[in-house]
Amino acid sequence: MTIRVGILGAGGFTGQELIGIFARHAQVELVYITSSEYADKPLAAAFPQLAHPAFGNLKFSKHPQVIADAPKLDAVFLATPDDASLKWAPEFLGAGVKVIDISGAFRLSDAALFKEYYGLEQTAEDTLKKAVYGMTEIHRGAIQKAELIANPGCYPTAAALPLWIYRDLIDFSKPVIVDAKSGTSGAGGRKEKDGLGYSTVYENFRSYRTAKHQHAPEIAQELSRATGVKVNLRFTPHLLPMYRGILSSAYAFLKPGKNAADFAAAAEKVRNETFLRARENVDAVELKHVQHTNFCDYAHFLDENTGVVQIVSAIDNLMKGAAGQAVQNMNLMFGIPETTGVI
């Protein structure tokens, strides 16, 4: 089988990563990429490192005005702003095209929360109902049958996956604290802008959007869904002076009666998950080990003195945190091996 794929908004970091994955993906033919900035220009205009016939001779198209502007596709990846995804997801679904949306448009099932955190009305409520949240290891069954994937945010992937693994060992009636640190490719786009200039980021470190970050309700929603209780989350992202990767340090409280053996058993349950990789201890969870891969490395530390369980995880924000997980999901939707192109 060959899957005919398009990418809307292909001129950014995620677009570049998807294009790189598809070059190694035996069953994908990339036939359509759009960009307002690079319209009518070859791939190499946006990504000079891809200046070679081996990367094909695809050109960027303008963004479509109407769905008929797009060629016949089997799947489309929306690497577009939230409002553009609200518009295009229903259109492509209507044309029988499977949609993997990488924006935040369909991640929050509560329209009021969406309004609060994204500043947008949820104008596609019917489409929202069809959306499956694409945290692959958690929702694999639903993803296989889905027509529309809400691909998870980078911080939610890093934070929620390992907390889900240990979900039965944590007392979710108490607060969960996530102190997360990201390289710049996760914190912003390709364009230079306030806060991401070299002289601002280099030899510096700080938190941002501590009071209100749109990934906080997404993490809470996923943990609440997994546990059946409303999870109270304190989430703080930070900007690392580097490029690639997210390290998430979660601090939670041990459920009474649980112990080290229970943690080993929980990790054992996901032993066959290709992309979940248990490390021997939290200090061995390093960004260097996951860069340019689709792995989520994780480990825990159980502090008997305080009852705090520390769960540390690392991902490449552009792979498992965006493009890599999106392709995992696409593979499942089309019934081909989940790891194709991403290992």
The footprint of its own copies on residues 234-273 (CB under 8 A) is 234, 236, 238, 240-245, 247, 249, 251
Kindly state whether residue 224 participates in binding its own copies, applying the rule CB under 8 A.
no
* CA gap 247, 301 in Å, rounded: 15
* CA gap 325, 323 in Å, rounded: 6
Candidates 119, 210, 229, 259; binder of its own copies (CB under 8 A) is 210
Burial-class residue 85 by CB neighbours within 10 Å (0-12, 13-18, 19+): buried
Selected catalytic residue, list 154, 220, 266, 276: 154
Q: Toward its own copies, which CB reaches closer, 13 or 118?
A: 13
According to CB under 8 A, which residues from 44 to 83 bind its own copies? 48-49, 51-52, 54
Q: How many residues bind its own copies (CB under 8 A)?
A: 77
Candidates 71, 96, 119, 197; binder of its own copies (CB under 8 A) is 197
Minimum separation from the CB atom of position 128 to its own copies (A): 25
Candidates 1, 194, 261, 335; binder of its own copies (CB under 8 A) is 194
Kindly state whether residue 173 participates in binding its own copies, applying the rule CB under 8 A.
no
The angle subtended at Cα 78 by Cα 75 and Cα 80, nearest 5°, is 165
Region of 86-94, 98-106, 142-150, 174-182 interacting with its own copies (CB under 8 A):
174-182
Active site residue 154: yes
DSSP class of 118? H
What is the rounded (10 degree) CA torsion for 143, 144, 147, 152?
20
Minimum separation from the CB atom of position 91 to its own copies (A): 32
Residues 6+ apart with CB under 8 A from 103: 78, 79, 80, 81, 82, 84, 85
Q: Toward its own copies, which CB reaches closer, 2 or 199?
A: 199
Q: Taking a C-beta distance cutoff of 8 angstroms, is the pair 209, 187 a contact?
A: no
Minimum separation from the CB atom of position 116 to its own copies (A): 13
**185 vs 14, 196, 245, 313, 323, CA distance in Å?**
9, 10, 8, 18, 13
If one counts every other C-beta atom within 10 angstroms of the C-beta of residue 150, the result is 28
- Gyration radius (Cα) of the chain, Å: 20
Minimum separation from the CB atom of position 210 to its own copies (A): 5
Q: Toward its own copies, which CB reaches closer, 167 or 181?
A: 181
Q: Is the dihedral of CA 180, 213, 155, 14 positive or negative?
A: negative
* Tokens 């998870």 belong to residue: 152
Region of 59-67, 91-99, 254-262, 310-318 interacting with its own copies (CB under 8 A):
310-318
Per DSSP, the residues of 275-311 read: TEEE-SSGGG--GGGTTTS--EEEEEEEETTTTEEEE
Q: Toward its own copies, which CB reaches closer, 4 or 238?
A: 238
According to CB under 8 A, which residues from 80 to 119 bind its own copies? none
Candidates 121, 200, 259, 264; binder of its own copies (CB under 8 A) is 200
Region of 108-116, 261-269, 280-288, 321-329 interacting with its own copies (CB under 8 A):
280-288
The angle subtended at Cα 185 by Cα 334 and Cα 286, nearest 5°, is 85
Region of 75-83, 131-139, 140-148, 195-203 interacting with its own copies (CB under 8 A):
195-203
Candidates 29, 205, 265, 268; binder of its own copies (CB under 8 A) is 205
Among residues 148, 63, 144, 170, which one has the least CA distance to residue 102?
148
Query: What type of residue is 146?
Result: A
Region of 62-70, 75-83, 142-150, 199-207 interacting with its own copies (CB under 8 A):
199-207
- Residues marked active site are found at 154
